[in-house]
């Protein structure tokens, strides 16, 4: 009887092959962008000290009301009122004195953050009325801040990609899929310091030439690194 031989030929079609090993790379980057201010911002404080709380509050209320009326006469000025506070102090067993205070902010569109003459004249008038000018600086409008934040995010992403490419090359791998991406644009603008500070109440109108404003954004990502490039 003739012998029969049986040959087994492997069939690879349709069989899953082991996937190439992947490395998960976690990176963080902080991007920055600088923008020229597009607003002038002045911070004021109204304060009164009286023998009774009602008188102190009435004086502050009237001061702020007068300031709002004055501000309405200057084109483009927006007033935002801040915190209101009243407290009592006693010294050397005397009757208590009551202090009332409220802050408010004046904002005007201004190229480069440099206020116009009408704005600085308003500030001088309010100081002459006894209000305290706490600060004069450049700021960013919402549109300006959004634009600067997008630029800061772009800067962070470029850093992230450059870092990923460098690490992948060192490990003889290639940059693969982006698994996760987190963007934190909460690093708001850092107010610039005015080159010229505010004057005393009896001095001429204040001058200000703000520097650029720095905006930051933080980005983190998990990126796959695949096989050999």
Tokens at residue 101, please?
């205070």
Spell out the alpha helix ranges (H) of the chain. Answer: 53-72, 117-128, 142-170
C-beta atoms surrounding 131 within 10 Å: 21
Do 43 and 135 touch, CB atoms closer than 8 A?
yes
Do 74 and 42 touch, CB atoms closer than 8 A?
no
Tokens at residue 220, please?
């983190």
Residue 201 has pLDDT above 50, yes or no: no
pLDDT in tens, 155-170: 999 999 999 999 999 9
Q: Give dist(CA 206, CA 120) in Å, integer.
A: 6
Q: Which domains does the chain show, CATH number per domain?
A: 20-38+141-229 (3.30.110.170), 39-139 (3.30.70.360)
Quote the distance between the C-alpha of residue 36 and its chain's center. 14
pLDDT at 119: 95
Q: Which SS3 state, helix, strand or coil, does residue 39 take? A: strand
**Mean pLDDT value across residues 94-108:** 93
Looking up tokens 């404003």 gives 213
Among the residue ranges 20-24, 129-133, 214-218, the one predicted with the least confidence is 20-24
Do 149 and 185 touch, CB atoms closer than 8 A?
yes
Q: Give dist(CA 22, CA 12) in Å, integer.
A: 24
Higher pLDDT, 66 or 1: 66
Among the residue ranges 47-51, 126-130, 182-186, 193-197, the one predicted with the least confidence is 193-197
**Mean pLDDT value across residues 196-225:** 74
The sign of the dihedral angle between the CA atoms of 166, 171, 172, 177 is negative
pLDDT at 20: 56
The angle subtended at Cα 61 by Cα 59 and Cα 64, nearest 5°, is 110
pLDDT band, residue 6 (cuts 50/70/90) = very low
* b/e burial code for range 9-18 (CB count within 10 A of at least 16 → b): eeeeeeeeee
**Mean pLDDT value across residues 164-177:** 93
Do 45 and 101 touch, CB atoms closer than 8 A?
yes
pLDDT band, residue 188 (cuts 50/70/90) = low
CA dihedral 15, 20, 26, 30 (to 10 degrees): -110
pLDDT at 1: 46
Q: Give dist(CA 63, CA 26) in Å, integer.
A: 56
What H or E segment, with its residue span, contains residue 193? none
pTM: 0.72
pLDDT band, residue 30 (cuts 50/70/90) = very high
């Amino acid at each position: 009887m003739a012998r029969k031989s049986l040959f087994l030929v492997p069939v690879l079609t349709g069989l899953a092959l082991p996937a190439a090993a992947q490395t998960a790379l976690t990176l963080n980057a902080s991007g920055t962008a600088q923008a020229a201010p597009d607003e002038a911002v002045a911070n004021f404080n109204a304060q009164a000290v009286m023998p009774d709380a009602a008188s102190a509050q009435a004086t502050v209320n009237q001061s702020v009301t007068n300031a709002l009326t004055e501000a309405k006469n200057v084109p483009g000025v927006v007033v935002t009122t801040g915190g209101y506070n009243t407290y009592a102090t006693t010294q050397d067993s005397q009757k208590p004195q009551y202090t009332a205070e409220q802050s408010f902010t004046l904002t005007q569109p201004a190229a480069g953050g440099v206020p116009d003459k009408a704005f600085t004249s308003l500030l001088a008038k309010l100081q002459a009325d006894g209000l305290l000018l706490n600060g004069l600086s450049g700021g960013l409008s919402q549109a300006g801040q959004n634009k600067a934040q997008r630029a800061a995010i772009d800067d962070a992403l470029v850093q992230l990609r450059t870092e990923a490419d460098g690490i992948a090359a060192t490990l003889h791998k290639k940059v693969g899929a982006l698994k996760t991406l987190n963007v934190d644009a909460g690093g708001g603008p850092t107010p610039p310091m005015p080159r010229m500070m505010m004057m005393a109440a009896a001095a001429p109108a204040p001058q200000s030439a703000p520097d650029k404003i720095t905006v930051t954004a933080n980005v983190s990502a998990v990126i796959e690194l695949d096989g050999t490039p």
